[in-house]
Amino acid sequence: MKRIAAVVLSLFVSAGAFAQNIPDFNTYEKAFVDFAHGVSSALPLYSSIGNNWSSGYGGQLPHLGFGLTVGAATIPGAVVDNLTTQLGLGSVTSIFPSAAADLIKQYGVPMPGYVIEARIGGLFIPFDIGLKFGYFGDKMQSLQQKLPANMKLDTLLAGFDVKFPLVKEGFLMPQISIGGGFSYVKGYVQFPLTNSDITVLNGVSAPDGNTYWVKFTAPNMRFQWDSKVIDAKIQVSKHLLIFTPYAGVGASYGFSGAGGGVASQLLVSTTSNSGPFSTPTAAQIDQINQALSYSGNGGSVSVDGTSVLVSAGANGLGFRAFGGVSVDLLILHLDANLMYDILGKSYGGSIGVRIQW
């Protein structure tokens, strides 16, 4: 695979584009805090990839089905533009050709994902349960090797939902169902930033009385996100010959966190931004962390031997409209789905194939 997965922001960054010196750490921190708040609106929509079958209610046991869905949701273009501008990369308009920039500004940047899914009919009362799981990470080396050189991507999307029929489908009557569920989203994307050194802390005074300069050698940019999402939805569908069109609305709330930063070999100096630089001791890292713990930008700064990362809690409410259609060939069903988050102004969509009976 995304925003965000989160995130095809690696397409935005060419080697050497990032400033070699960040004189104001508050700007660095604020950029990722703002990103966390912006991406929070996309995470609930992203978590809804999968379990969007045209048949809102599949039936009690022995009815069940299995499938695969591939989809994406977008980070709003304004969030991306704000981040790249604050980090000194330039605006979306200056980074991309006009046609691509217009698309990003209008629709955003896609966070791709996939899930393997199943739906199992319930017992005793009319309901069914949907399960989904998708992972892309270090344990999939053959796929990781297909990414651009030195890029790392790790995403997890898992969840379940329960659906109940409200109205049974008849000759003229559509099927109406309601449901609710829970999803968990987690991931990061990391990619090379520049072959030059970057100073991310330029003269920070620590409690031990020393002033620290911190730089990275040939650093990577990293974006990360996670969200626990509670969701409720209502869906209407109607079988017509070999097609089943459907539409619905859903509301979700994500307990989210996101952020990012720079990662590689961290070096420190207590003399000047010209050095000499050396590998920091555990005590020096602790002092730098203490110096940055009260920045006032609403973020949590974490410094270790390989990174300076900023994260922020960013809970978000989503309210989406969705719809699509399936082609039904006996027990084989081909699904296509579109989604739009009315509050976050994020877009999403998916295609899938399933066997259901």
Q: Indicate the pTM of the whole model.
A: 0.85
Query: 217-235, pLDDT tens digit by residue?
Result: 888 888 899 999 999 999 9
Angle at the Cα of 183 from the Cα atoms of 339 and 129, rounded to 5 degrees: 90
**Rounded-to-integer distance, Cα 205 and Cα 343, Å:** 42
Task: List 232's β-bridge partners, or say none.
Answer: 180, 251
Q: What is the pLDDT of residues 154-163, one digit of tens each?
A: 899 999 999 9
Query: In 53-120, which ranges are continuous DSSP H helix?
Result: 77-86, 92-95, 98-107
Q: Could you check whether the bond before residue 276 is cis, i.e. omega within 30 degrees of 0?
A: yes
Instruction: Provide mean pLDDT across the span 81-89.
Output: 79
Look at residue 12 in the predicted model and tell me its pLDDT.
40
Predicted confidence (pLDDT) at residue 10 exceeds the cutoff of 50: no
Confidence tier at 2 by pLDDT (50, 70, 90): very low
Q: Has residue 94 got a pLDDT over 80?
A: no
Closest to 43 in 3D by CA, of 222, 228, 191: 228
Query: How does pLDDT run across 13-22, given as a tens digit for each residue?
Result: 443 445 555 5
Residue 23 above 60 pLDDT? Answer: no
Residues 6+ apart with CB under 8 A from 270: 210, 211, 212, 213
Confidence of residue 56 (pLDDT cuts 50, 70, 90): confident
d(CA 107, CA 38): 14
pLDDT for the residue numbered 164: 96
How many residues are listed for the chain in this entry?
A: 357
Q: What is residue 295's predicted lDDT score, i.e. its pLDDT?
A: 60
Could you tell me the pLDDT band of residue 83, with boundaries at 50, 70 and 90? confident
Quote the mean pLDDT of the chain. Answer: 85
User: Which run of H or E residues covers position 283?
Assistant: helix 282-291
